[in-house]
Amino acid sequence: MRIPESNFALTVLISSALTLSVLLQPAQAADPTGEGTLSIVAWPGYIERGETDKAYDWVTEFEGATGCKVTVKTAGTSDEMVSLMNQGSYDLVTASGDASLRLIAGKKVQSIDIAKIPSWKRLDERLQNAPWHTVNGVHYGVPFVWGPNVLMYNSAVFPTAPTSWAVVFEPQNLPDGKANKGRVQAYDGAIYMADAALYLMTAKPELGIKDPYELNESQYQAVLDILRKQQPMIHRYWHDYNVQMSDFKNEGVVVSGAWPFQVNMLQAEKQPIASVVPQEGATGWADTTMMGASAKNPTCAYKWLEWSLSDKVQAPVSEWFGANPGVPEACKAKAPGGSDFCTSNGFNNFSQIKFWKTPQATCATHGTCVPYSRWTQDYIAIMGGR
């Protein structure tokens, strides 16, 4: 409808005033008490805003409700996470057990006031006081999700699931009649040495390994020996999940230790991929969201710590990554894909997983063990063929 010229100026004035009023109003859904930003170091797949799959987005609602804009730096190994947190420029980190105690000892993270996290009481009792984030009764983080490091394999090569980690540690022909040399991978973090130790617990029981993270000198030398034997077989030492996925699709790699995340992503692409926890068991991760000692946005950080325990996060991240929720009640929540993720991801297998932890010079098993500093030095040498 055409506006009469006599009313045009008044109409423009009213319209402009209304527009200015709207622009000046804060977003109704936002909580103005946050600092406005939040930086997180995280494992791939842990902080999703629907960019890969719009159904998996637990960041957008948080940002709208709190006014805290989330930025994420992904890391492929715990050593990389520790390095990033040493810079002191991140608010939160989703640390695994082989990083958390190092961060606490290095004073790179701060203690958590659980009174500020109402959902703490919902946490799995097996995780609430776990030693990888609790020191002298003080909590240095909030448990997030957990799960195993699985054996991922090409189901066209393995019509039946492999039953042992031997397929990646021992030279042999695979079910298709071809050798495994050049067709297997290993993780390029030194903590992978625990996978070899776990295998030797069954393969060579005479070594007396009780804890794959607590090795005396003779046990440690046996681990070095098998990793050196494995090295000529390795196609690539991986830490970038995208690169590993590409290698399975394009480079002839058919079996490797992996995270459930890669399995889910490759299966979504209709690749012939499956996974198993072999007879020896598996190492695994129970990840904790920790706050940086010099976090610039502690209010937003506490808001995220509380949000991370909600079913709106726990269910989708568990389904998306192939993890188990830190909050048992989340097993009853509906995830975007509609799967029974707690059953498929092994929620009841908690006791069978040897969770990552930082090897210490002083240990319960032997009194004195080989410390992580040597693990790191020697594993770098092995990857280089020495």
Across 139-160, b (16+ Cβ under 10 Å) vs e yields bbbbbbbbbbbbbbbbeebbee
Task: Specify the CATH number for the domain of residue 338.
Answer: 3.40.190.10
Say whether both 125 and 175 belong to one domain.
Answer: no
| CA proximity to 166, closest of 201, 191, 190 | 201
What residue numbers bound the domain in which 244 lies? 150-258+357-383
- What's the chain's Rg over C-alpha atoms? 24
Question: Does the residue 251 lie in any domain?
Answer: yes
| CA proximity to 298, closest of 132, 42, 117, 119 | 117
377: its two tokens:
């030095």
Give the separation between CA 74 and CA 94, rounded to whole angstroms: 10
Q: Could you tell me if 98 and 191 are in contact, meaning their C-beta atoms sit under 8 angstroms apart?
A: yes
Say whether both 113 and 189 belong to one domain.
Answer: no
- Percent helix, strand, coil in the chain, to 5, is 40, 20, 40
Question: Does the residue 117 lie in any domain?
Answer: yes
Give the separation between CA 133 and CA 144, rounded to whole angstroms: 11
Give the separation between CA 375 and CA 192, rounded to whole angstroms: 9
Say whether both 322 and 362 belong to one domain.
Answer: no
Strand 353-355 to 282-292 pairing: parallel
Question: Does the residue 29 lie in any domain?
Answer: no
Say whether both 362 and 248 belong to one domain.
Answer: yes
Say whether both 233 and 91 belong to one domain.
Answer: no
Question: Does the residue 217 lie in any domain?
Answer: yes
Which residues on adjacent β-strands are paired with residue 186?
237
Say whether both 184 and 201 belong to one domain.
Answer: yes
- Residue-level pLDDT, tens digit, the chain, 386 residues: 333 333 333 333 334 443 333 333 433 444 556 799 999 999 999 999 999 999 999 999 999 999 999 999 999 999 999 999 999 999 999 999 999 999 999 999 999 999 999 999 999 999 999 999 999 999 999 999 999 999 999 999 999 999 999 999 999 999 999 999 999 999 999 999 999 999 999 999 999 999 999 999 999 999 999 999 999 999 999 999 999 999 999 999 999 999 999 999 999 999 999 999 999 999 999 999 999 999 999 999 999 999 999 999 999 999 999 999 999 999 999 999 999 999 999 999 998 899 999 999 999 999 999 999 999 999 999 999 98
pTM of the predicted model as reported, rounded to 2 decimal places? 0.85
Q: How many domains is the chain built from?
A: 2
Indicate the residue type of 221: Q
Give the separation between CA 34 and CA 28, rounded to whole angstroms: 14
Query: What local confidence, expressed as pLDDT, does residue 2 receive?
Result: 34
Give the separation between CA 59 and CA 71, rounded to whole angstroms: 10
Which residues on adjacent β-strands are paired with residue 214?
211
355: its two tokens:
């969770």
Say whether both 249 and 363 belong to one domain.
Answer: yes
pLDDT tens for 334-371 read: 999 999 999 999 999 998 899 999 999 999 999 999 99
**CA 12 vs CA 5, 18, 324: distances in Å:** 11, 10, 57
Indicate the residue type of 129: N
Indicate the residue type of 226: I
Question: Does the residue 12 lie in any domain?
Answer: no
**Residue showing tokens 């030492």:** 237
Query: What local confidence, expressed as pLDDT, does residue 17 receive?
Result: 40
Say whether both 83 and 163 belong to one domain.
Answer: no
Say whether both 142 and 210 belong to one domain.
Answer: no
Question: Does the residue 129 lie in any domain?
Answer: yes
Q: Could you tell me if 106 and 293 are in contact, meaning their C-beta atoms sit under 8 angstroms apart?
A: no
- Helices assigned H by DSSP within 251-364: 260-268, 298-307, 311-321, 341-344
Say whether both 113 and 131 belong to one domain.
Answer: yes
Give the separation between CA 149 and CA 88, rounded to whole angstroms: 29
**Residue showing tokens 């991240």:** 317
Query: What local confidence, expressed as pLDDT, does residue 22 receive?
Result: 36
Query: What local confidence, expressed as pLDDT, does residue 291 receive?
Result: 98
CA dihedral 131, 133, 135, 139 (to 10 degrees): -130
The CB density around residue 251, as the number of other CB atoms within 10 Å, is 15
Question: Does the residue 364 lie in any domain?
Answer: yes
Say whether both 87 and 166 belong to one domain.
Answer: no
Question: Does the residue 60 lie in any domain?
Answer: yes
Q: Could you tell me if 101 and 132 are in contact, meaning their C-beta atoms sit under 8 angstroms apart?
A: yes
Give the separation between CA 272 and CA 248, rounded to whole angstroms: 10
Say whether both 226 and 369 belong to one domain.
Answer: yes
Q: Could you tell me if 309 and 117 are in contact, meaning their C-beta atoms sit under 8 angstroms apart?
A: yes
Strand 282-292 to 255-258 pairing: unpaired
SS (H, E, C) 212-266: CCECCHHHHHHHHHHHHHHHHHEEEEECCHHHHHHHHHHCCCCEEEECHHHHHHH
